[in-house]
Amino acid sequence: MYSPRVGDPLSALDTPSMIVDLDLMESNIHKLFSTLLPTGRHIRPHLKTTKCAALARKLVAAGATGCCVAKVSEAEAITAAGFDDILITCEIIGAPKVQRLVALVQKHPKIRIVVDSVVGATAIDEALGKAGVATPLAVLVDLDVGLHRTGVADAPAAVELARHIAGCKHLKLIGVQGYEGHVQHVHGFEERRRECLASMAILTGTAEVLRKEGFQIDVVTTGGTGTAEFCASVPGVTELQPGSFIFMDTDYRNAVGGFYANSLTILSTVISRQGKRQVTIDAGLKSLTTDSGLAECKNVGYVHANLGDEHGALTWEVGAPDLQIGDRVEMIPSHIDPTINLHDVYYAHRKGVIEEIWRVDSRGKVQ
């Protein structure tokens, strides 16, 4: 039976396989934490990228304060794997999801959530009351700082929602969240910095308005891989949520440069030759997402094209080494988060020898 093990060479892996270069990944972690920890901000990495409790523990060992996940189902998977200091960063709406949240916080009271509506806050408060949950659930008001995806529109709306939360018996307001996702992939350092600081002005300004209204705002959480450095420079920001830095992808690299390395690739095999300078590989849409463009071959000089669910193409100009049937190539994902969601397992290697194997604990957890 096929069963790769620690100590095996990468050549023992079937393909496509998701592989991680540990030297590069560890360098990425060191770079981020050595840059951001001295600012005094907490770092709460977002596991919507890694979807893996084993990696959450590595990040905490490096200095992280808990983690973030996007959905309740992700929180269920990560807590089941033994990690429970979690902020759920998406709104929790609908009776089935609220009931799952209640069951989760009964077992894991360190869970934190965000809300952006009276409707959402009320439903959660009532469900917690009916379940007899004694400890109030920590809540952050979600603010729209320019992405226009979720979050209350402005400071007056935040005050109104905060007052409602204050009247809820089973919720405790601890802070605000604002995610400047529209800024993450802006090309150009100065433009990205300028747009990020404009979002931070909304976030920290609203936090100050809430404090003046008498609310205790201890947590001001924000940021991503493309902006965390800027966010950390803003007085009033307390917590940062970068995620993709650990592995990176071509989309982030093209926007923010090569400070972090592309440590994760999809190992693929050449399975057919189609002419003098074109081959087919066994990694298609089921292995590599295309929402942020096509993946790139790690070896320079080859051009990737998609050929469907199971196949991709590589072509090259005269001068690049020919690829032959049976050769292996590493493909760099264009968007790391959804690509990881296509795979069950990470094979982490050092210099070509598998050193660790990690489950993608929250793969497919979109609820």
Domain assignment present for 362: no
Whether residue 61 lies inside any domain: the answer is: yes
How is residue 101 written in tokens? 């949240």
The answer to the question of residue 235 being in a domain is yes
Grouping H, G, I as helix, E, B as strand and the rest as coil, residue 217 is coil
Looking at the domain assignment, is residue 295 inside a domain? Answer: no
Those residues whose C-beta lies under 8 Å from the C-beta of residue 293, and which sit 6 or more positions away, are: 250, 251, 334
d(CA 270, CA 250): 22
Domain residues for the domain of 35 are: 22-247
66: tokens are: 């808990």
Contacts of 42 (CB under 8 A, 6+ apart): 65, 238, 239, 240
CATH number for position 197? 3.20.20.10
Count how many Cα atoms sit within 13 Å of the Cα of residue 231 in the half-sphere of its side chain: 33
Q: Are 50 and 75 in contact (CB under 8 A)?
A: no
Amino acid at 63: G
H helices of 19-170, in order, are: 22-36, 53-62, 72-80, 95-107, 118-131, 155-166
User: Residue 82 falls within a domain, yes or no?
Assistant: yes
What total number of domains does the chain contain?
A: 1
pLDDT in tens, the chain (367 residues): 999 999 999 999 999 999 999 999 999 999 999 999 999 999 999 999 999 999 999 999 999 999 999 999 999 999 999 999 999 999 999 999 999 999 999 999 999 999 999 999 999 999 999 999 999 999 999 999 999 999 999 999 999 999 999 999 999 999 999 999 999 999 999 999 999 999 999 999 999 999 999 999 999 999 999 999 999 999 999 999 999 999 999 999 999 999 999 999 999 999 999 999 999 999 999 999 999 999 999 999 999 999 999 999 999 999 899 999 999 999 999 999 999 999 999 999 999 999 999 999 999 999 9
Helices (H) and strands (E) in the chain, counts: 10, 17
Does residue 94 belong to any structural domain of this protein? yes
Residue 138 lies in a domain: yes
> How far is it, in rounded angstroms, from Cα 242 to Cα 180?
12
Helix (H) or strand (E) holding 195: helix 189-212
In a domain, 293, yes or no: no
